[in-house]
Structure 1
């Protein structure tokens, strides 16, 4: 261990802060709130970060709407249901209205059914313990009880649409 003090970290301002914002957005999509937190973690001034993030949003480099759509599609690919998706949007401080059209177009029954078949197979289980296991699995994934019960009891010939 050396006895020399570490050099003070340079706090980003002006063009350095702008370059940092662009670098962050080049790697991944961020919500306004997430981008502000990232930039503030570097020690930048709050007012300067606020101004920069608003400017990046106006120039469409940062978009909460794009972030909402990306997050929705990502969560669906991961097998998450409506409740878990709303929770993820809330975590990133994004309003569901920004992805409402895509959200409304999703067939949640089909998503839950595909997830159930992938994990447990297509047959209808009569054993209460196994049925409870399937129900808990789909609840954890964020699906509502009415969809879960339709999926767990789905025999293939009924039409639930």
Structure 2
């Protein structure tokens, strides 16, 4: 039977304000956003050499693709859109990116692992990590094994302790607040309930 004191749906805007987060799930911070300012500056400097009307083709498009990839890792979908902004023909971009991917200059696998590491370090659970991958149009299956190997209950517990302390709360309102916080961070309900019920040194 559902406890009416625990909300069925999450109000992400309210949670963002409550927990001091600067970005809702739809704009999850990821490795690709960390260098946006630098990337924009580099893109501007490079664009001085880009024919604004004719666009890039051939060796110039290829050179620009390598310049982009030396600055940071891009998912295949991101790289296509990035190059298409300056290319003359989108079909040429598709062929080039496919070649770069086959030769491992571009790798969705590497990007997925970077996202996983970055999001986990920031205290995000599996659901938020999957959402971050989705925004980059990366298949979650690429890191499915890595996701399974992580003890998400322990991850949720450590985050709960950092935010609320080690006390196992009995007050339904406080428990509900902890549940909302961990759900917003992307943890599954099973891991959440175990985390907020875990006593110090339990299972150690």
After TM superposition, the score normalised by the length of structure 2 is 0.70
Pick closer, same or farther for the CA change 1:43–1:146 going to 2, 3 Å: same
Cα deviation, residue 101, structure 1: 2.1
CA deviation profile, 1:17-70 (whole Å, cap 9, x unmatched): 111111111111111111001111224311110111011112111011111111
Cα deviation, residue 10, structure 1: 4.7
What residue is the counterpart of 1:87 in the other structure?
131
Moved over 3 A (4+): 7-10
Cα deviation, residue 127, structure 1: 2.3
2:186 aligned with 1:111: no
Cα deviation, residue 156, structure 1: 2.3
SS at match of 1:118: helix
- CA distance in 2: counterparts of 1:47 and 1:90, whole angstroms: 24
1:32-111 counterparts in 2 under 5 A?
32-111=76-155
- CA distance in 1: counterparts of 2:98 and 2:52, whole angstroms: 29
May I ask how many residue pairs the two structures share in their alignment? 154
Q: List gaps (5 residues or longer) in structure 1.
A: 1-6
Considering only aligned residues, what root-mean-square deviation do their CA atoms show, in Å? Answer: 1.7
SS at match of 1:66: helix
SS at match of 1:89: helix
2:190 aligned with 1:137: no
SS at match of 2:167: coil
